């Protein structure tokens, strides 16, 4: 589970642990991640914090190998981590564009590559890639963000098709989530009308629904947005 320390990621961790799952929670925000693990641990839930940068394929490979060596299996991968730099393309730096695309697109791809082949050998698993409405529609000041989200949606669709061919026990789901009342939104758009945003817990429930579908069927894609979502469709 990536981007686990706060916002939607923390909500998904809560839902998974409520359901009895042992969660490997990954983020670059070490302090917040460990605070979440400690809080849930006091409630009897099992969360193992992992601090690594998903942009670094070497760090991803090492972390995934440690998880599989330690646990012997991994049944669910949730790619949730994302960043944005809200600037006109005219004023974007190469470093800013690289940050967004490497985090939002290459990071999930790295994690899928490392886990998918292992899930095939295992005979099953479920990969969920959390997407933005920018995967279907863009707006100004969102060039790299839209490019990364559109690319991840295409990759998710391809992985869905290959999983049907490679291993019937592997489910792949893309979840397109509209605006949520999280720091990810409010730090970028401090004047956002919070009445038009949804609780991240609702999106976390959508993740749990995708995971609840019986083996033999799979939800390939879900869209969950506020009723007055301005960026959909």
User: Which residue among 2, 5, 27, 145 is the active-site one?
Assistant: 145
Only one residue has tokens 């409010």, namely 186
Query: Would you say 124 and 170 are in contact if contact means Cβ atoms under 8 Å apart?
Result: yes
**SS3 (DSSP) at 78:** strand
Is 145 marked active-site? yes
Element (H, E) at 25: strand 23-27
Distance between CA atoms of residues 228 and 183, nearest Å? 20
> Distance of alpha carbon 149 from its chain centroid, rounded?
11
Residue 89 CB neighbours (<10 A): 11
Catalytic residues: 145
């Amino acid at each position: 589970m990536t981007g686990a320390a706060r916002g939607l990621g923390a909500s998904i961790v809560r839902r998974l642990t409520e359901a009895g799952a042992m969660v490997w929670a990954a983020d670059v925000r070490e302090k917040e991640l460990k605070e979440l693990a400690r809080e849930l641990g006091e409630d009897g839930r099992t969360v193992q914090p992992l601090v690594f940068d998903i942009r670094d394929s070497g760090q991803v490979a090492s972390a995934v190998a440690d998880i599989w060596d330690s646990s012997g299996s991994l049944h669910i991968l949730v790619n949730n981590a994302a960043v944005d730099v809200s600037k006109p393309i005219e004023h974007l730096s190469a470093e800013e564009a690289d940050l967004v695309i490497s985090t939002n697109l290459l990071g999930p791809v790295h994690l899928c590559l490392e886990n998918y082949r292992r899930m095939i050998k295992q005979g099953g698993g479920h990969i969920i890639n959390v997407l933005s409405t920018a995967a279907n529609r863009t707006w100004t000041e969102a060039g790299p963000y839209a490019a990364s989200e559109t690319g991840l949606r295409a990759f998710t669709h391809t992985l869905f098709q290959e999983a049907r061919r490679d291993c019937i026990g592997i489910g792949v789901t893309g979840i397109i989530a509209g605006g949520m009342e999280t720091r990810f939104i409010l730090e970028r758009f401090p004047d956002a009308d919070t009445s038009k945003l949804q609780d991240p817990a609702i999106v976390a429930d959508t993740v749990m629904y995708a995971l609840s579908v019986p083996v033999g069927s799979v939800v390939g894609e879900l869209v969950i947005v506020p009723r007055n979502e301005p960026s959909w469709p």
